[in-house]
């Protein structure tokens, strides 16, 4: 297949895949120095990425000056700086991170520790953090753990440490994960996302309580006497906080506080909770700890012949993309994952710039907002069950 006959390169036989080998090589990021093709006989390719020495030679300075330019040291004449920059450009020079990491003991890499899960919230946060970190000019190293227990996390952190990360971002939404944080060396810059609100140092979270209060109050405002709650797993901070917020809102309104229906985050658990709820005529308003639960609940309700929001009002949490497109469109609480990621990285960068440990950096919880759609209505069990879909109605208020 590789039909072109070219000057054979001994160390690199032609590959079938390569359609236009030389162009490919040219574009490769690390340019080929001293190609000087045509010098018959002599080795045509001196394949080796250019180093500081090469740049220095071309610019007529010492390698140290090149280093200074690279690191924006002040004591370099503008003219020299330009000359070096030009030489870099010409050679397609790229600094060798490994060498730098070796000597400084720290790389321009940020490590992220996260559970490997399909859960919408954590995944959204993860990708947001990736995005923000690389936007900030850092390389991204990910260490995902199968479960968020102490040893897995310690292990992940160790792996990251091996990579000589400059700092880490840990997504630690459960208590066991948070405990593992005690084990990380305290001189390693770190930002914790979704950790224990009781330990606010270096922590960034969504204001879960506020979100839960918003959701609960929305239901109360629609005229419901009280609001039931289907919670997430008890060892999740998000879960506990949402319970707290929900209860608070109820207490504030002088409403009765029904027992919590504990579940995990899954659709299936929501479905089961929904089956329970369906048998309790007094349960007319439900705040589900996340949208998946809400969807599961709604399915169970539907199967039991109950309709949402006429018979039962439901509010979720997360605002998954599907939320506006299910039937009925789900009223829910939308956390700002992007902002969380942004704050976390900011927190980390602050520690990087200023290694002084004085004063634990803290940031305020990020307030979520309520997205009102059509899964909330005033109580009115007496009203006839309606047909599906067609009619539109705005959310109760």
Q: Tell which positions 83-112 bind its own copies, by CB under 8 A.
A: 94-99, 101-102, 107, 109
187 binding partner (options DNA, its own copies, none; Cβ < 5 to 8 Å by kind): its own copies
52 near DNA (CB under 7 A): yes
Q: CA triplet 131, 265, 173: central angle to 5 degrees?
A: 50
377 near its own copies (CB under 8 A): no
Per CB under 7 A, which of residues 103..162 are in contact with DNA?
A: 103-105
- Distance between CA atoms of residues 209 and 215, nearest Å: 10
Please identify which residue in 53, 86, 280, 360 interacts with DNA, judged by CB under 7 A: 53
Please identify which residue in 15, 19, 23, 48 interacts with DNA, judged by CB under 7 A: 48
CB of 102 to DNA, least distance (A): 4
Number of residues that bind its own copies (CB under 8 A): 91
Question: Which range in 74-82, 118-126, 247-255, 278-286 contacts its own copies by CB under 8 A?
Answer: 118-126
CB of 38 to DNA, least distance (A): 25
Beta strands in the chain (DSSP E): 109-115, 139-145, 167-171, 190-193, 203-204, 228-231, 260-262, 285-288, 313-315, 332-334, 369-371
> Is residue 214 within 8 Å of residue 368, measured between CB atoms?
yes
> Three-state SS for 325?
helix
81 near its own copies (CB under 8 A): no
CB of 73 to its own copies, least distance (A): 21
**Taking the mean position of all CA atoms in its chain, how far away is CA 56?**
41
Instruction: Tell me whether residue 4 or residue 104 sits nearer to DNA (CB atom).
Output: 104
Please identify which residue in 233, 258, 324, 378 interacts with its own copies, judged by CB under 8 A: 324
100 near DNA (CB under 7 A): yes
- Distance between CA atoms of residues 313 and 321, nearest Å: 20
Please count the other Cβ atoms lying within 10 Å of the Cβ belonging to residue 358: 6
**What b/e string do you get for 302-315 counting C-beta neighbours within 10 Å, with b at 16 or more?**
beeebbbbbbbbbb
- Distance between CA atoms of residues 186 and 157, nearest Å: 12
In degrees to the nearest 10, what's the CA dihedral of 136, 140, 145, 151?
A: -80
- Distance between CA atoms of residues 50 and 28, nearest Å: 13
Question: Which range in 220-228, 253-261, 267-275, 373-381 contacts its own copies by CB under 8 A?
Answer: 267-275
CB of 35 to DNA, least distance (A): 17
334 binding partner (options its own copies, DNA, none; Cβ < 5 to 8 Å by kind): none
Contact mark string toward its own copies, 330..369, x via CB under 8 A: --------------------------xxxxx---------
Please identify which residue in 39, 182, 225, 256 interacts with its own copies, judged by CB under 8 A: 182
Q: Would you state the structure tokens that stand for residue 294, as one six-digit string? A: 């809400």
- Rounded to the nearest 10 degrees, the angle between the axes of helix 52-59 and helix 78-91 is 120
185 near DNA (CB under 7 A): no
> Three-state SS for 333?
strand
Per CB under 8 A, which of residues 18..57 are in contact with its own copies?
A: 18-21, 23-25, 27-30
In the chain, the N- to C-terminal Cα span, in Å, equals: 70
Per CB under 7 A, which of residues 55..84 are in contact with DNA?
A: 60-65, 67-68, 70-71, 74-77, 79-81
- Distance between CA atoms of residues 167 and 202, nearest Å: 12
Binding site for DNA (CB under 7 A): 48-49, 51-53, 60-65, 67-68, 70-71, 74-77, 79-81, 93, 95-96, 99-100, 102-105
């Amino acid at each position: 297949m590789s039909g072109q006959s070219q000057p054979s390169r001994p160390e690199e036989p032609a590959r079938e895949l390569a359609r236009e080998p030389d162009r490919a090589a040219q574009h490769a990021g690390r340019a080929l120095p001293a190609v000087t093709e045509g010098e018959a006989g002599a080795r045509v390719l001196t394949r080796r990425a250019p180093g500081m020495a090469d740049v220095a030679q071309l610019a007529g300075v010492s390698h140290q000056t090149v280093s200074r330019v690279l690191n924006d040291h002040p004591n370099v004449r503008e003219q020299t700086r330009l000359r070096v920059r030009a030489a870099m450009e010409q050679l397609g020079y790229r600094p060798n991170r490994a060498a730098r990491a070796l000597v400084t003991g720290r790389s321009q890499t940020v490590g992220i520790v996260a559970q490997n899960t399909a859960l919408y919230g954590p995944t959204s946060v993860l990708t947001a953090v990736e995005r923000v970190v690389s936007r900030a000019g850092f390389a991204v190293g990910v260490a995902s753990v199968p479960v968020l227990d102490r040893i897995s996390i310690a292990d992940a952190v160790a792996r990251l440490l091996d990579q000589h990360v400059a700092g880490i971002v840990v997504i630690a939404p459960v208590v066991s994960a948070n405990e593992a944080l005690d084990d990380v060396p305290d001189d390693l810059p770190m930002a914790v996302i979704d950790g224990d609100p009781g330990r606010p140092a270096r922590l960034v979270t969504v204001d879960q309580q506020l979100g839960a209060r918003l959701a609960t109050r929305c239901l109360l405002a629609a005229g419901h006497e009280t609001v039931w709650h289907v919670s997430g797993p008890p060892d999740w901070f998000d879960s506990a906080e949402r319970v707290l917020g929900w209860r608070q809102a109820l207490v504030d309104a002088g409403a009765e506080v029904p027992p919590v229906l504990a579940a995990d985050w899954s659709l299936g658990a929501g479905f089961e909770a929904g089956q329970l709820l369906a048998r309790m005529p007094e349960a007319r308003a439900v705040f589900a700890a996340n949208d998946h639960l809400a969807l599961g609940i709604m399915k169970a309700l539907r199967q039991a012949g109950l309709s949402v929001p006429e018979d039962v009002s439901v509010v979720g949490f997360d605002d998954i993309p599907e939320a506006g497109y299910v039937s009925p469109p789900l009223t829910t609480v939308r956390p700002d994952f992007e902002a969380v990621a942004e704050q976390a990285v900011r927190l980390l960068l602050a520690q990087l710039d200023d290694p002084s440990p004085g004063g634990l950096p803290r940031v305020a919880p990020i307030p979520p907002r309520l997205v009102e759609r059509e899964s909330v209505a005033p109580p009115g069990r007496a009203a006839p069950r309606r047909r599906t879909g067609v009619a539109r109605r705005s959310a109760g208020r």
